[in-house]
Amino acid sequence: MGKIWAIILAAGESKRMKVPKMLLPFHGKTMIEKVIGNVIGSEVFHILVVLGSYRDEIRGSISHLQVNHCYNENYRKGMLSSVQCGFKNLPADFDAVLVFPGDQPFIEPDVINLIIRS
C-alpha cells in the first residue's frame, strides 16, 4: 500500500486526570512520545497529531519527532471533532488513514503493521 497516514488524537482536556494525560511519564518517555514512537516504528507513511488542550506543552514535548500537527479549535466538543480536524488537515493524495488515541501506548508497531496488511 502507498501513502498511509496516521492521525493521533492528543487534544483532550484530561478532565478526570486533572493533569495533561499525554505528558504523563511512560517507560522513560511521555505517553504521547511512546504512541508516536510506536507509529513511527510501523509502515505508516506520515503522522498528523491533532492538538487542542495543552497544545503548547504537548507540541514542545514532541518537537524532536518527525510529525505534522494541527490544532482543533473545537476540542471541547469531543473526540469526533478531533477526528474531523485531522481528516481536514490531510493532503488529498493519501491511500489510507489509521486513527489512534494518543493515550494507548500498548499498540505496538507489529500490531499496526498487521492492520495495514489486512
* CATH for 39: 3.90.550.10
Helical axes 55-62 vs 31-40, angle rounded to 10°: 50
All 3 cell numbers of residue 13?
A: 482536556
Quick one: pLDDT at residue 1? 58
pLDDT digit string, tens, across residues 103-116:
999 999 999 999 99
Query: What angle is formed at CA 83 by the lines to CA 13 and CA 99, rounded to 5 degrees?
Result: 105
pLDDT digit string, tens, across residues 66-118:
999 999 999 999 999 999 999 999 999 999 999 999 999 999 999 999 999 98
Q: Which alpha helices (DSSP H) does the chain contain, by range?
A: 31-40, 55-62, 79-88, 109-117
Q: Is the pLDDT of residue 33 over 80?
A: yes
Of 24, 53, 58, 40, nearest in space to 98 by CA: 40
Helical axes 31-40 vs 109-117, angle rounded to 10°: 50
More confident call, 63 vs 14: 63
Q: What does the pLDDT average to over 43-69?
A: 97
Assign residue 78 a region: left if phi > 0, alpha if psi is -120 to 50, beta otherwise? left
- pLDDT band of residue 17 (cuts 50, 70, 90) is confident
> In whole angstroms, what is the distance from residue 63 CA to residue 85 CA?
20
pLDDT digit string, tens, across residues 4-16:
999 999 999 887 8
Range of the domain at 57: 4-117
**Domain total of the chain:** 1
Backbone angles phi, psi at 23, to 5 degrees: -100, 5
